Amino acid sequence: MILFYLLVATMPLSEHRLWEASPGSLTLFKWLGMACVVVAIVRLAQHSGPPRFLWSWQAGLFLFLYVVVLLSYFSKAKTVQAWEMGPLAGWTSYVLLFFITLVLVDTLPRLQWVLMVLVGSLAFASLYVIRQWQQFRQVIPEFRTWGGVSGDPNYFSASALIGVALAFSLLSQRRPRWGRWFLLGCLTITLAALTIAASRGGFVGLVGAFVVIAWRSRHRFLMFVLGTAVLALLFTIAPVAPVERLIHPTPGDDAAAQNRKIAWQAGLRMIESAPWFGIGVGNYRASMEQFETEDIKIESVAHNTYIEIGAELGLPALGIFLAILILGYRSLERTRRRAHEWEQPFLEHVAVGLQAALVGYAISMFFLSEEYQRHLWFLLSLSLCLPYVQPGPSKPAPDVRDEAPQEEMEDEVDDAYVEEWLAEDEG
């Protein structure tokens, strides 16, 4: 598990010179991922029978979407490039991430540590963003940061939403003092970096995530009032406030909005020209000129995940992607209800945090092409993990006169929970 924790810790460091170094044909991060695949295979071999999560609709649709990507890549590839640099490598790595997450995150202690590492890694990446702003704010007026080791500030903001949502939700649960201070520190640092990044899409996504958490709170009205006050304070006193960029955009903001409009219109024309099978995975940027009608010619991604998937893979593939998102949220909702009924507060708060993160991420995908972002697929993998790490109800207590060993009784309870969840999923 140490290797997997390290993999999660390095996910936000997409531009770090150490983890993106290439010893051989793969980066160090990808070599670490391959080592985790080996660990997952060994662990899976220790269990009898196929893993139960493979029978869920969410897992099946994800694997089917990967098959669509394979067919699109081998039938419609426009350019010849190294395999490790092409879109197929990205999709393959997300399938492997999906596999190792579902195999390795199978107990409550592992889930807790994975979430703490995830929150901490995003806070650590946020320190780079803050430091970069400190270095350049006196040199470049209205400096936003370009994300440091986390790359583009907009993509960093989308990933940071996960850390904020999880940290805020987990703080609502009783935990050791060190854990509360750790989560509070990570939340403060990540919120500060989000403010400095000043991403408009990130801001809208953060509002959506906050609405989910506030709605699930026992003190809904108070949470809405306090949260609104905090968000308004943060994003109005920020050096480059996203609210200010929305209301009074600079010439650079207007140019970025215009480029997005051109890219979206070109993407809609691509969908119109090939609605069933798309123009081919990875071909969006190369096909821009063919579908542009404005005098200004640009070459870029769609800056909208939904349009890009629909244009490259077709509307049926877009429907599959949307179904994966919806089923992920539905799975988390079932887990939240069961955890509440069976008095498992930790899992209940985790489910709410992941629901908020998924909603925030889904909103930010209207402004960014995020299908190649690691945190999106890790988030969806975690949403499917939760039902299989349920420890079962804490009440009623098992009869001490029962001759069955305690461990066997707990296993039966676990199986009963999973079987009930699977039965509802099939229904």
Q: What is the largest CA-CA distance in the chain?
A: 82
276-319 pLDDT per residue, tens:
999 999 889 888 888 887 666 778 888 899 999 999 999 999 99
**131-135, 179-183, 195-199, 240-244, range with greatest mean pLDDT:** 179-183
Spatial separation of the C-alpha atoms in residues 329 and 15, rounded to whole Å: 30
* From 124-133, 199-208, 393-402, 416-425, the region with the lowest mean pLDDT: 393-402
Higher pLDDT, 175 or 114: 114
Judged on CB neighbours under 10 Å (0-12, 13-18, 19+), 38 is exposed
Span 70-80, average pLDDT: 78
Span 72-86, average pLDDT: 69
> Quick one: pLDDT at residue 25?
66
Predicted confidence band of residue 376 (pLDDT cuts 50, 70, 90): very high
Predicted confidence band of residue 14 (pLDDT cuts 50, 70, 90): confident
Predicted confidence band of residue 395 (pLDDT cuts 50, 70, 90): very low
Predicted confidence band of residue 326 (pLDDT cuts 50, 70, 90): very high
Q: Domains of the chain: which residue ranges?
A: 2-247+314-392, 251-310
- CA atoms in the 13 A half-sphere facing the CB of 133: 21
Spatial separation of the C-alpha atoms in residues 423 and 427, rounded to whole Å: 6
End-to-end Cα distance, the chain: 34
> Quick one: pLDDT at residue 423?
54
> Quick one: pLDDT at residue 145?
58
> Quick one: pLDDT at residue 114?
94
Predicted confidence band of residue 133 (pLDDT cuts 50, 70, 90): confident
Higher pLDDT, 320 or 292: 320
Mean pLDDT of the chain, nearest integer:
80
Span 199-224, average pLDDT: 84
